[in-house]
């Protein structure tokens, strides 16, 4: 497929996604998109704990899932307080907020439901201890990468709009997305079922992938872009 056609398709998906999450059904815009995201992130710990109490499931996997996903929600709120993402400050319609919660943010809550509830998949017990260790390590590193990258981006762009090519962005062009992938990938590891991976790959392709392509198109306007793109990797450093 010619490159121009590919970018047209990506742009169309981005426009559709923006309409569905920001303008769906029209009407007044009283909510910032950040409020919608913070609502879901901030309540995740209570959601997981509620599932554990309701289904009387206090397995090691459940407690670890609660600790990781719950603390991530708190870290997200801290991040939004200290260095908020400007992309999330736009106001959205109530229809857009509902769609975002239902089809983008809500599916993340299915992970813990699959793990803790015997209703949907009664044979799910979660990952073994070695894989739990992998999940904890991946989550810790991913959270550090995401927070550091978002902080650097916020404080650099606050003073000057420029292409960031040092620090967290020196070898990787999208370290914040890498961190998010590591974080949510760790949750899928804990659940140890194929369904969370289907959800993740759908979101990574239609949301993360589209956003990355659009961001790269935007960064291409800078003079240093070609050299920076040559020596850096999309999500992982270039080793050769």
pLDDT in tens, 77-115: 999 999 999 889 999 999 999 999 998 899 999 999 999
Listed range (2-6, 22-26, 142-146) with the worst mean pLDDT: 2-6
Domain locations in the chain as residue ranges: 3-231
pLDDT of the residue at 76: 97
Listed range (4-13, 61-70, 144-153, 213-222) with the worst mean pLDDT: 4-13
Give the C-alpha separation, 117 to 110, whole Å: 10
For 102, phi then psi, to 5°, come to -75, -45
pTM tops 0.95: no
Per the CB < 8 A criterion, the answer to whether 179 and 153 are in contact is no
Give the C-alpha separation, 15 to 20, whole Å: 9
**Among residues 70, 14, 23, which one has the least CA distance to residue 213?**
14
Give the C-alpha separation, 92 to 114, whole Å: 30
User: What tens digit of pLDDT does each residue of 166-207 get?
Assistant: 999 999 999 999 999 999 999 999 999 999 999 999 999 999
Q: How many C-beta atoms lie closer than 10 Å to residue 78's C-beta? A: 11
């Amino acid at each position: 497929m010619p490159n121009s056609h590919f970018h047209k398709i990506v742009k169309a998906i981005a426009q559709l996604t923006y309409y569905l999450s920001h303008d769906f059904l029209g009407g007044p815009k009283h909510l910032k998109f950040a409020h919608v995201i913070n609502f879901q992130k901030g309540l995740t710990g209570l959601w997981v704990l509620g599932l554990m109490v309701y289904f009387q499931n206090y397995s090691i996997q459940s407690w670890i899932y609660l600790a990781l996903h719950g603390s991530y929600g708190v870290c997200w709120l801290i991040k939004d307080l200290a260095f908020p993402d400007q992309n999330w400050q736009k106001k959205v319609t109530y229809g857009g907020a509902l769609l975002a919660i239902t089809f983008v943010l809500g599916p993340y809550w299915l992970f813990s439901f699959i793990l803790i509830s015997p209703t949907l998949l009664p044979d799910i017990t979660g990952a073994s201890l070695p894989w739990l260790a992998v999940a904890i390590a991946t989550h810790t590193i991913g959270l550090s990468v995401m927070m550091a990258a978002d902080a650097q981006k916020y404080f650099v762009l606050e003073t000057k709009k420029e292409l960031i090519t040092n620090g967290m962005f020196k070898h990787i062009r999208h370290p914040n997305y890498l961190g998010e992938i590591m974080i949510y990938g760790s949750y899928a590891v804990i659940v140890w079922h194929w369904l969370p991976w289907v959800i993740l790959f759908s979101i990574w392709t239609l949301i993360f992938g589209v956003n990355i392509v659009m961001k790269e198109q935007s960064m291409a306007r800078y003079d240093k872009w070609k050299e920076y793109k040559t020596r850096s990797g999309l999500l992982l450093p270039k080793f050769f």
